[in-house]
Amino acid sequence: MSIHIDELATLVEAQLGERVRRYAAPAGELAYELAAPQLLEVALALRDTPGLAFESLMDVAGVDYLDYGQADWNTSTATSTGFSRGVNPDVGHTLRGERRYAVVYQLQSVSKNQRVRLRVWCDGAEEPTVESLCGVWASANWFEREAFDLFGILFTNHPDLRRLLTDYGFIGHPFRKDFPLIGNVEVRYDEAQQRVIYEPVTIEPRILVPRVIRHDNRYDPALLAGEKRNG
């Protein structure tokens, strides 16, 4: 962890105290999580505190943790160790239930040349809800509409919370892990009626099976140990 990140973490934690909790992030990055009721005041503090000055909201992303820890591919170390299944049922069990949905905010201070990530756990699993940050950063508007459209996350006090990417009359939220991959309806243009019509999906549903990663002797522990001895 760089000295700059440590100094920034000290400033953030001194300003926000117990309202945020730091969680693990890749080297050179700083990330905190907080509860939904704390979001607005934390956002204002990060923007307006002189030593922080996070005047830019760069991105907002919804996250669905429904199957987290059950079928996660381990890719961060694949180059040196081969492929493996990074399944952690204990972690998945902890995050499922009331803590199914989260919203992740990427903040940047242009004047201070620093960044911070916020993860906010939504209130409720059926209708996940957080406060809109449009009044803090104008760029939140379409980011929040996208998260609403794809994940069904509701942003209270948003000035215009409409779908952004899906078609008019679309039902459901495509990025939810419980949404069928083939969708619920299909769209076509009917020549006889001279209009677009919606019909039940005619594609036969199928179960997607992850491809099997066969054993690769290049990553065999005995072989690697021999290479180290010879090297």
- Does residue 144 form part of some domain? yes
Is the residue at 136 inside a domain? yes
pTM for this structure?
0.76
d(CA 178, CA 32): 27
d(CA 82, CA 216): 7
**Residue-level pLDDT at 126:** 82
168 φ/ψ sector (left φ>0, alpha ψ -120 to 50, else beta): beta
In CATH, what number is assigned to the domain containing residue 149? 3.30.460.80
Q: Is residue 224 part of a domain?
A: no
Residue 134: inside a domain, yes or no? Answer: yes
Mind listing the pLDDT tens digit for each residue in 20-32? 999 988 878 999 9
Instruction: Note whether residue 222 is domain-resident.
Output: no
pLDDT of residue 79: 46
Domain residue limits at 31 = 3-65+100-171
- Looking at the structure of the chain, the number of domains it has is 1
150 in any annotated domain: yes
Each residue of 62-104: pLDDT tens digit?
A: 999 887 766 545 555 554 454 444 444 444 444 555 689 999 9
The tens digit of pLDDT for each residue in 147-203 reads 999 999 999 999 999 999 988 778 889 999 888 888 888 888 999 999 988 888 887
In a domain, 22, yes or no: yes
Domain membership of residue 167 (yes or no) is yes
d(CA 154, CA 150): 11
